[in-house]
Amino acid sequence: MMGSTAEEEALVDAMAEHVRDINEAYNRKGLFFMKDEDKKAEIKKTWYEEELPTFLAKLDKALPGSDGFAVGKKVSLADVAIFKLLKDTYDADVSKAFASCPKLQEIVANVEKNEGIQKWVKERPKTFI
Protein backbone atom coordinates (compact mmCIF):
# COMPACT_ATOMS: atom_id res chain seq x y z
CA MET A 1 0.00 0.00 0.00
CA MET A 2 3.06 2.30 0.12
CA GLY A 3 3.96 2.28 -3.58
CA SER A 4 6.50 0.36 -5.62
CA THR A 5 9.60 2.48 -5.03
CA ALA A 6 11.14 4.57 -2.27
CA GLU A 7 10.05 7.69 -4.14
CA GLU A 8 6.46 6.45 -4.34
CA GLU A 9 6.56 5.57 -0.65
CA ALA A 10 7.57 9.14 0.17
CA LEU A 11 4.80 10.51 -2.05
CA VAL A 12 2.18 8.20 -0.49
CA ASP A 13 3.28 9.41 2.93
CA ALA A 14 3.11 13.04 1.79
CA MET A 15 -0.41 12.63 0.40
CA ALA A 16 -1.58 10.87 3.58
CA GLU A 17 -0.13 13.74 5.62
CA HIS A 18 -1.98 16.21 3.41
CA VAL A 19 -5.22 14.36 4.24
CA ARG A 20 -4.28 14.44 7.92
CA ASP A 21 -3.80 18.20 7.71
CA ILE A 22 -7.33 18.56 6.32
CA ASN A 23 -8.75 16.36 9.07
CA GLU A 24 -6.92 18.36 11.74
CA ALA A 25 -8.19 21.66 10.34
CA TYR A 26 -11.74 20.35 10.60
CA ASN A 27 -11.21 18.92 14.10
CA ARG A 28 -9.88 22.28 15.32
CA LYS A 29 -13.37 23.69 14.65
CA GLY A 30 -14.49 22.00 17.87
CA LEU A 31 -17.81 20.85 16.44
CA PHE A 32 -17.99 17.52 18.23
CA PHE A 33 -18.67 19.04 21.65
CA MET A 34 -20.28 22.29 20.50
CA LYS A 35 -23.70 22.87 22.04
CA ASP A 36 -24.71 25.99 20.09
CA GLU A 37 -26.46 24.46 17.05
CA ASP A 38 -26.69 27.78 15.17
CA LYS A 39 -22.96 28.41 15.53
CA LYS A 40 -22.24 24.79 14.59
CA ALA A 41 -24.37 25.14 11.44
CA GLU A 42 -22.59 28.38 10.50
CA ILE A 43 -19.14 26.82 10.96
CA LYS A 44 -20.11 23.74 8.95
CA LYS A 45 -21.50 25.88 6.13
CA THR A 46 -18.25 27.83 5.90
CA TRP A 47 -16.23 24.62 6.06
CA TYR A 48 -18.19 22.76 3.36
CA GLU A 49 -18.66 25.71 1.01
CA GLU A 50 -15.38 27.62 1.36
CA GLU A 51 -12.62 26.01 3.36
CA LEU A 52 -12.88 22.34 2.36
CA PRO A 53 -13.04 23.10 -1.39
CA THR A 54 -9.86 25.17 -1.03
CA PHE A 55 -8.06 22.37 0.82
CA LEU A 56 -9.23 19.80 -1.75
CA ALA A 57 -8.16 21.91 -4.73
CA LYS A 58 -4.66 22.06 -3.22
CA LEU A 59 -4.67 18.30 -2.62
CA ASP A 60 -5.86 17.63 -6.18
CA LYS A 61 -3.07 19.82 -7.57
CA ALA A 62 -0.45 18.08 -5.39
CA LEU A 63 -1.39 14.54 -6.46
CA PRO A 64 1.39 13.06 -8.59
CA GLY A 65 -0.57 10.05 -9.86
CA SER A 66 -2.97 9.63 -12.75
CA ASP A 67 -5.62 7.26 -14.07
CA GLY A 68 -7.46 7.13 -10.75
CA PHE A 69 -4.45 6.62 -8.50
CA ALA A 70 -3.02 9.16 -6.06
CA VAL A 71 0.54 7.86 -6.53
CA GLY A 72 1.88 5.48 -9.15
CA LYS A 73 -0.24 2.99 -11.07
CA LYS A 74 -1.93 1.00 -8.29
CA VAL A 75 -4.07 1.59 -5.21
CA SER A 76 -2.08 2.86 -2.26
CA LEU A 77 -2.65 4.06 1.28
CA ALA A 78 -3.01 7.56 -0.17
CA ASP A 79 -6.02 6.47 -2.25
CA VAL A 80 -7.70 4.86 0.75
CA ALA A 81 -7.03 7.92 2.93
CA ILE A 82 -8.52 10.20 0.27
CA PHE A 83 -11.53 7.93 -0.18
CA LYS A 84 -12.18 7.87 3.56
CA LEU A 85 -11.82 11.65 3.78
CA LEU A 86 -14.31 12.28 0.99
CA LYS A 87 -16.81 9.47 1.52
CA ASP A 88 -16.67 8.53 5.19
CA THR A 89 -15.50 11.44 7.33
CA TYR A 90 -18.29 13.99 7.29
CA ASP A 91 -21.96 13.83 8.20
CA ALA A 92 -22.78 15.49 4.88
CA ASP A 93 -22.20 14.66 1.23
CA VAL A 94 -19.10 16.62 0.22
CA SER A 95 -19.27 15.86 -3.51
CA LYS A 96 -19.71 19.56 -4.33
CA ALA A 97 -16.52 20.37 -2.43
CA PHE A 98 -14.45 18.28 -4.84
CA ALA A 99 -16.57 18.75 -7.98
CA SER A 100 -13.78 20.76 -9.61
CA CYS A 101 -11.06 18.26 -8.62
CA PRO A 102 -10.72 15.70 -11.44
CA LYS A 103 -8.00 13.61 -9.81
CA LEU A 104 -9.96 13.30 -6.56
CA GLN A 105 -13.08 12.33 -8.50
CA GLU A 106 -11.16 9.60 -10.33
CA ILE A 107 -9.65 8.27 -7.10
CA VAL A 108 -13.04 8.07 -5.39
CA ALA A 109 -14.58 6.31 -8.41
CA ASN A 110 -11.65 3.90 -8.60
CA VAL A 111 -11.69 2.99 -4.90
CA GLU A 112 -15.50 2.68 -4.88
CA LYS A 113 -15.21 -0.07 -7.50
CA ASN A 114 -13.03 -2.18 -5.24
CA GLU A 115 -15.02 -5.24 -4.12
CA GLY A 116 -13.28 -5.37 -0.75
CA ILE A 117 -14.17 -1.74 -0.03
CA GLN A 118 -17.77 -2.32 -1.15
CA LYS A 119 -18.04 -5.33 1.14
CA TRP A 120 -16.55 -3.47 4.11
CA VAL A 121 -18.84 -0.44 3.67
CA LYS A 122 -21.85 -2.72 3.49
CA GLU A 123 -20.96 -5.01 6.41
CA ARG A 124 -18.89 -2.87 8.78
CA PRO A 125 -20.08 -2.26 12.31
CA LYS A 126 -22.19 0.84 12.75
CA THR A 127 -20.71 3.39 15.13
CA PHE A 128 -22.04 6.59 16.65
CA ILE A 129 -20.14 8.74 14.13
Query: Which residue ranges in the chain fall short of pLDDT 50?
Result: none
pLDDT of 120:
87
Give the number of other Cβ atoms within 10 Å of residue 94's Cβ.
Answer: 18
pLDDT of 125:
86
pLDDT of 128:
57
Taking phi first (over 0 means left), then psi (-120 to 50 degrees means alpha), and beta for anything else, what does residue 67 get? left
Candidate CATH numbers 1.20.1050.10, 3.90.700.10, 1.10.150.120, 2.40.110.10; the one for domain 6-123: 1.20.1050.10
pLDDT of 121:
84
Q: Using one digit for the tens of pLDDT, what is the confidence trace for 92-122? A: 999 999 999 999 999 999 999 999 988 988 8
